[in-house]
Structures are given as structure tokens and as C-alpha cells.
Amino acid sequence: MKNYVLGLAVVGLLLTACTPQQETEVVQDPQESEARSVVLPSVRLDDNYYSTILPYAESKSRGLVVSNMATKYDIVEVEKGLMRLSQNEYPTDKYYFQEGQYLDGSTISSWLARSNQTEDGLNPDDQGLVGREKAQKAPVYLSHIVEQNYLVLEENTMKLAGISIGLAMNSIYYYTEVDYGPVFEQQISDAEITENGRRMAQEIVSRMRKMPGLEDIPITVGLFKQNSRNAIVPGTYFSYGVSTSGSEINDWTAINEKYVTFPTNDSSEQYRDMDTAFRNFKQDVETYFPNYTSVIGTAFYKDDYLQKLTIDIPIQFFGKAEIIGFTQYVSGLINAHFVTDLPVEITITSIEGEQALIKRDANQEEPFVHIYE
């Protein structure tokens, strides 16, 4: 386990929010061979974000998530959602965030393999199985493993105090009957995902307990259900468990989170008011500015309550003045169509990239507007 011993100057830096950031020499645990200089940010954005240690320590498995996840939306959410659930165990006002430093790319790849491919493979043995039979009897359940580290400052020493592990579970197994043939889908039931996810989580915790310094560090494991390859919203974490010490995960807690695309064909009462408001907003955009591609909304629900609305508007405009006029108009529609306690973020893009950002926090009177140069 890596400890970071800090001088008194760092303590003053933490206590004085207005003090500029200063670089402070840090000496690692005597077992470590090299000293390291870090910066502890004097200002934290808000309670929804962790402070980080600078310079930023990149994950030991950096880049692996891109090739292992089904969509760009899941790539973002598997990490962001893990940080969100970690706040249940590691409060943002006490813990610092660091990307995973214990599971490197080769270790994760070995664990993601089938049990007949590597000694440590967690996915099921597929020997003698092909095509549909393999999809039904031995699908690949686990597609990626995310590690996050959480550190605390105690007695002028920065040390590891918690680890979060995210297990990205497939909800669909894709396969072919012949090489280069058509791709088929095998749905994986929620019961299968949960059963195998918990089994793998237990094994991963057991393995990590054998790593030096991790014998008694709390380990939180979240189970993430990936969406389909064609989805335009991400999957979500649906359960997490904690091992405070030892190798057992004693209790699992359900997570109720969901992303919903608007406009939606879902007629349930839960989404009706939001869908009506969004369709009216979309209609106003269409009426005033016909040169747009589409208006797509993504709403995030937690415990059945709407938490945030994100809207993407791809445009086909040809001049900066037109973009400015469109942005001004859209910013005026937010308060007209969406309740004031709902955070709303609108991104206006073109083939050249992002053109404008409009953001309104909960109960903010006027939205923040930025037009990119």
C-alpha cells in the first residue's frame, strides 16, 4: 500500500480555500523507492465531485475500457457511475480520488478471459461449444473491470483508504454461426447477470486481498449492466456490495438508476410530463429554426426521480451570427418549458464540433451560455 507523507504546508493549503495551489514534496512509504511531488487542490468544485491528487496518476489499465465496452456511452458511465456509487462509502469531503493503481492491463485482460484460456479467467469455459450452443451455455458475462482508489489525509499522511471495483456485465452476447457470417444476439437474463456478477466479485475481492497492502482496505464492488451496441443511452449500475476486510462481500445493495431518451414512446405515467415538456421544447426549436438535424434528450433518473436533463442539438448552420442567434433563442426556451429545480444542459454541435453550451443548474434564474470561438 502506498502512503504519502506531507509537510505542514499542505495542511495549510487544505484549510485555506483562497490560497493558490503550491507544489509540495511528498515522501512515499519507506518501502517505496522514490519520492514524489504532488499538489492537493485548495478548492473542491462541489459535493458531487472528488478532489484529485496532482500530477494526475493515470490508471494502470489505461485505454483498455475503449476496446472492452460496447458503446461510447457505456465507456463514460461505467467510470462516472462508479464514482457516484462510491460516494455512499467514501464521502467527497473526506476522500481524494485516484485512478486504479493495483490492477494493470495484463491482469485485467487475464481475468476477463475464459477459464480455459487463462488460469485466472473468470468467464466460463467454452471448450467443445460453438455458435448458438456456446451463446446459450457459456456466454461472456464480464466484459471489463474498472478500478478506482480513494485516499484520505491522516496525521499529515495521504494513504489509501478505499477501493472501488466496477464489473461491466454484458446484457447481450453477440455471436456468429460461421466465420464472417451474420451476427446474432443472445439475451442474458437479469438473474444470470446478477448471479455471475456476484460470483466474480467475490473471486476478485479474494484475489485482491492477496496483494500487498490491500489485506484490510475496504473494497466496494459495483455491478454494471451494459446496454446494447445500438443504444444511444448508457447502461447503469444496479447493485453494489462492500468487503470491509477479509474476502467476503456480506451484503448487496440495490441501485435504482436509469437513463431515458426523449421524446419517448414509453406511455408510463412516470415519464409523461417530461415527455410533454420535451416535445413542446422540440416543437419550438423546429418552428423558429428549421435548419437543424434533430433534438435528442437524455434524462437521468435516480430512485425514480428525475435528476438531470441533457439535450444534444446537431445543427446545419453556416455562419457564426446564425449560431449566436440560435443559441440565444434556445437558452430562452429552458425556463419556458422545464421546471426550475431541474438541472438542464444543452450542447449545440455541427460537423465542425461543439458550437455552444447552455447550462442551467437547479433553481438558477438564468442559464449560463458559452459560444465557442
Asked if the structure places residue 39 within a domain, the reply is no
Q: What is the pLDDT of residues 70-100, one digit of tens each?
A: 899 999 999 999 999 999 999 999 999 999 9
pLDDT bracket for residue 56 (50, 70, 90): confident
Overall domain count for the chain: 2
pLDDT-based confidence at 153, cuts 50/70/90? Answer: confident
Same domain, 83 and 219: yes
Q: What is the CA radius of gyration of the chain?
A: 24
Highest mean pLDDT among 49-58, 258-267, 355-364: 355-364
Domain boundary pick from 203, 236, 255: 255
Identify the domain containing residue 236 by its residue range: 45-255
Residue 222 falls inside a structural domain: yes
Q: Is 217 helix (H, G, I), strand (E, B) or coil?
A: coil
Q: 239 and 223 in contact (C-beta within 8 Å)? A: yes
Residue 4: is it exposed, middle or buried by C-beta count within 10 angstroms (0-12/13-18/19+)? buried
Same domain, 246 and 364: no
The answer to whether residues 251 and 139 belong to one domain is yes
Distance of CA 204 to the CA centre of its chain: 20
Q: In what order do the strands lie in the sheet with 353-360?
A: 257-262, 296-302, 305-314, 344-350, 353-360, 368-371
Q: pLDDT of 19-29, one tens digit each? A: 344 444 443 34
- Assess whether 245 and 266 both reside in one domain: no
For residue 320, is pLDDT > 50?
Answer: yes
Residue 204 sits in the same domain as residue 188: yes
CB 329 within 8 A of CB 363: no
Tell me the β-bridge partners of 187: 172
Q: What is the pLDDT of residue 48?
A: 84
Question: Residue written as cell 418552428?
Answer: 287
Instruction: Kindly state whether residue 112 falls inside one of the protein's structural domains.
Output: yes
Q: In this predicted structure, what is the pLDDT of residue 292?
A: 67
Residues 228 and 169 placed together within one structural domain of the fold: yes
Per-residue cell: 73: 456511452
CB distance 34 to 4 below 8 Å:
no
Same domain, 308 and 351: yes
Would you call 371 exposed, middle or buried from its count of C-beta atoms within 10 A (0-12, 13-18, 19+)? middle
Which segments of 48-182 are extended strands (E)? 51-52, 96-99, 142-154, 157-169, 172-176
Going by C-alpha positions, the residue among 311, 310, 289, 287 that lies closest to residue 300 is 310
Per-residue confidence (pLDDT) for residue 293, from 0 to 100: 65
317 in a structural domain: yes
Give residue 244's pLDDT. Answer: 93
Quick: pLDDT tens for 155-191.
777 889 999 999 999 999 999 998 889 999 999 999 9
Range with top average pLDDT, 44-48, 58-62, 131-135 = 131-135
Say which residue, 97 or 58, is predicted with more confidence.
Answer: 97
Tell me the β-bridge partners of 354.
349
Residue 34 in this model has a pLDDT that exceeds 70: no
Show which of 255, 282, 300 is a domain's final residue: 255
Coil, strand, or helix at residue 208?
helix
Q: 156 and 285: one domain?
A: no
Torsion of CA 329, 335, 339, 340, to 10 degrees: 130
Is residue 217 a contact partner of residue 161, using CB atoms and an 8 Å limit? yes
Q: Name which residue leads in pLDDT, 35 or 106.
A: 106
The CATH number for 127's domain is 3.10.570.10
C-alpha cell at 69: 465496452
pLDDT in tens, 239-252: 999 999 888 998 99
DSSP run (H or E) holding 21:
none
Residue 61 maps to a domain? yes
- Residues ≥6 apart with Cβ < 8 Å to 72: none
Residue length of the chain: 373
159 three-state secondary structure = strand
At position 193, the amino acid (one-letter code) is I
Looking at the chain, the whole-number percentage of residues with pLDDT higher than 90 is 69
In percent, the amount of the chain with pLDDT more than 70 equals 88
Rounded to the nearest integer, the mean pLDDT of the chain is 87
- The verdict on residue 38 lying in a domain is no
Question: What band does 67 get if pLDDT is binned at 50, 70 and 90?
Answer: confident
Residues 249, 158 within the same domain? yes
**What's the CATH number where 367 sits?**
3.30.300.190
Same domain, 247 and 291: no
- Residue 279 and residue 251 share a domain: no
Query: What pLDDT shows up at residue 163?
Result: 98
The residue from 224, 255, 286 where one domain ends is: 255
**Within-domain flag for 10:** no
Reference 235, options 22, 77, 113, 105; nearest CA is: 77
- Give the Cα separation of 13 and 19 in Å (integer): 6
Q: In this predicted model, what pLDDT tens digit does every residue of 267-314 receive, in sequence order?
A: 678 899 999 999 999 999 988 777 666 899 999 999 999 999 999 999
d(CA 21, CA 40): 7
Query: What residues form DSSP beta bridges with 370?
Result: 357
Report pLDDT for 36. Answer: 58
Residue 36 lies in a domain: no
243 and 348 assigned to the same domain: no
List phi, psi (to 5°) of 285. Answer: -65, -45
- Sign for the CA dihedral angle at 270, 271, 272, 278 comes to positive
pLDDT attached to residue 31: 39
The pLDDT value recorded for residue 26 is: 42
